[in-house]
Chains A and B, each alone.
Chain A
Amino acid sequence: MNGQITRNPKLAWREVDGEMVIISPEDSQVHELNETASLVWKHAEGKTLDELAEKISAEYEVARETARADLEELLAALGEKQLMFVSPEAKG
């Protein structure tokens, strides 16, 4: 899994006090992201999982592999909620 990460383009969202509030217009469902998920929401757009893990490990005191494993889990959860997707085709 190393495709490009994208936000679901259909969603309306705003950052409120550092955390994301997201509305899915089709069913008016409101999602709130915690600090971690909000960080990923902000910085992941267009990046691959490897690139994002690299950035996270550089900025936070965390091993690259740990960050990657955490991100993988997080993106799976966000994908399940139809909030963010990882495109199937690997980049680079």
Chain B
Amino acid sequence: MWPCARYGSCESTVGANATPKKPSALVPNQVSVAILTSTNELRLSALTHPAIANETGYGQPVFIGRIYGSGELRGSSQIPLLRISPPVHLRKTSGLVHPVEPLDNCLPLQISIGSVPLSLFIREEALLEPATRRYREFAHDSENGFPIVLKKPEARTRERGEFSYLLDDARLILRSQGAEFHGVRHEYALDSLLRILLTMVLLPQRGFLLHGATVVRDGRAYIFFGRSGAGKSTVASLSPNGSVLTDEISLLRYSNGCWQAHGTPFWGEFRAAGQNRLVPMAGLYLLKQASEERVETLDARQALRALLPCVLFFANEKPAHETLLRTLLGLIEQIPCHRLHFRRNAEFWKVIAA
């Protein structure tokens, strides 16, 4: 039977409680992944290329070669998936896409969040000191972290093939092999830009940030998510010391064949806390305050509808949204998603365990 032809639409918004969006210009699958150095050496990194990032990990050069006068490209060919065409296109962009240069005489603060090694180049002592303290649990001994260079505010127009995000006075500029933070004056701005950067770096690697608390129980991670006021910090405060990986922003990522929750330094009320470890996920729980404890299993559409508004998401390009949809549906397929009715006390574990 021809079903009754009535338009049924239900509208919600991705990342509704994230900061308002500004125009951006990330162009995955195109030359934004390429860096053409002054010696005509071409480096392609997996950062913004979803097709290959899954295979290689972010930032790893997946192609290093040279462009010759004729437009011919010679070099390592580790990436059969990536079509490089036409060479003239790459040459045109050589003036537009620049590598991020680390600061001279500045030792980076090495951290790792969600298994993403980051090298923060911060020259200002007034910012370096609180940043070191805030991310101390996430200190990481890595030579080749994804470089983030903090710079003075800069009047500039956006170049093609890069993602840019303005948050108050601070600006994030994402390049293929690094990022620049301009005009960061305090650790709050640094923290905000770091979250935005992570959403972009994790996206092609089947990872994302979610407004949610992560609690470990019997070696598995339970994610309690919801918008502000849903009860994330309540759930965290009801959990034993040491079992909470974050009370505010969860980092979920598919790696080594399963979905894992990572600890994050992003806690409510800007507390410096967190544990840098990863735990296989047990389930997702959308928090809903109620007069009794009850768990309701959500189907794929309900789960997607529940998750989308709680994802931290800042891109406004179609491919990024397609990747997000694919990632979330992949997650929902493997990890059960529920609505948890709870009374703001620890009784909810009884219905979860049941």
| A61 contact from B2, B301, B315, Cβ within 8 A | B2
| B contact residues around A30 at 8 Å (CB) | 10-14, 305, 308
- Docked complex: B219-262 residues within 8 A CB-CB of A: none
User: In the complex, A73 Cα to B4 Cα: how many Å?
Assistant: 11
Q: In the complex, what residue of chain B is closest to A76 when comparing beta carbons?
A: B7
Is B326 in contact with chain A by the CB < 8 A criterion?
Answer: yes
Q: Is B152 an interface residue (CB 8 A)?
A: no
Question: Which residue of chain A has the shortest Cβ distance to B299 in the bound complex?
Answer: A17
Scan residues 31-76 of chain A and give those whose CB is less than 8 A from a CB of chain B.
Answer: 31-37, 39, 56-57, 60-62, 66-67, 70-71, 73-74
Q: Provided the pairs A16-B329, A17-B299, A21-B325 are in contact, do residues A32 and B305 lie with their beta carbons within 8 angstroms?
A: yes
Query: Residue on B with the closest CB to A81?
Result: B9
| Chain A contacts to B: CB under 8 angstroms | 10-14, 16-17, 19, 21, 23, 25-37, 39, 56-57, 60-62, 66-67, 70-71, 73-74, 77-78, 81
Interface membership of B285, Cβ < 8 A: no
Q: Using a Cβ–Cβ cut-off of 8 Å, how many residues does chain B contribute to the interface with A?
A: 36
How far does the alpha carbon of A43 sit from the alpha carbon of B265 in the complex, in Å? 47
When distances are taken between beta carbons in the complex, the residues of chain A under 8 Å from B14 are: 23, 28, 30
Stretch at the interface among B57-65, B156-164, B316-324: B316-324
Q: Measured between C-beta atoms, what is the minimum distance from A28 to chain B in Å? A: 4
Please give the residue numbers on chain B whose beta carbons come within 8 Å of chain A beta carbons, in ascending order: 1-16, 21, 299-301, 304-305, 308, 313, 315-322, 324-326, 329
Q: Is the interface of A mostly helix, strand, loop or mixed?
A: mixed
Bound-state Cα–Cα, A35 to B2, Å? 10
What 9 additional pairs, Cβ within 8 angstroms, besides A16-B304, A21-B325, A25-B318? Answer: A16-B300, A19-B301, A25-B315, A28-B16, A28-B321, A29-B13, A31-B10, A37-B7, A70-B2
Q: In the complex, which residues of chain B have a beta carbon less than 8 angstroms from the beta carbon of A71?
A: 5
> What's the least CB distance linking B260 to chain A, in Å?
23
Q: B7 to A34, Cβ gap below 8 A?
A: yes
Q: Within the assembled complex, what's the spacing in Å between the Cα atoms of A37 and B301? A: 16
- Contact assessment for A31 and B9 in the assembled complex, using a CB-CB cutoff below 8 Å: yes
Bound together, the chains give a CA A23 to CA B316 distance in angstroms of 10
Query: Are A62 and B13 touching (Cβ within 8 A)?
Result: no
- Choose from B4, B8, B304, B313 the contact partner of A28 (Cβ within 8 Å): B313
CB-defined contacts of B320 to chain A, threshold 8 Å: 25
Q: A12–B305 contact, CB under 8 A?
A: no
Q: Is the CB of B329 within 8 A of A14?
A: yes
| A34–B8 CB distance below 8 A | yes
What residues of chain A lie closer than 8 Å to B308, measured between beta carbons?
23, 30
CB distance from B265 to the nearest CB of A (A): 26
What are 7 A-B pairs with beta-carbon distances under 8 A? A23-B321, A23-B325, A28-B16, A28-B316, A32-B305, A36-B8, A81-B9
Distance between B130 CB and nearest chain A CB, rounded to angstroms: 32
**A11 and B318 within 8 A (CB):** yes
User: Which residues from B are CB-within-8-Å of A11?
Assistant: 318
Establish whether residues B11 and A36, one from each chain, have CB atoms under 8 Å apart when the complex forms: no
Q: Which residues of A contact B315 (CB under 8 A)?
A: 25
**B307 → chain A closest CB, angstroms:** 11
CB distance from B349 to the nearest CB of A (A): 30
Contact yes or no, A67 B2, CB < 8 A: yes
Residues of A within 8 A of B324 (CB): 12, 23
Q: Is the CB of B329 within 8 A of A32?
A: no
Contact between B3 and A35 (Cβ–Cβ < 8 Å)? yes
Assess A32 versus B317: contact at CB under 8 Å? Given A12-B325, A19-B301, A21-B325.
Answer: no
Q: Which of B2, B6, B319, B322 touches A56 (beta carbons < 8 Å)?
A: B2
Q: A31 to B12, alpha carbons, bound, how many Å?
A: 7
Question: What residues of B have a CB within 8 angstroms of the CB of A28 in the complex?
Answer: 13-16, 21, 313, 316, 321
Once bound together, how far apart are the Cα atoms of A81 and B11, in whole Å? 11
**In the docked arrangement, what's the CA distance between A17 and B303, Å?**
12
* A25 lies within 8 A of B9 (CB): no
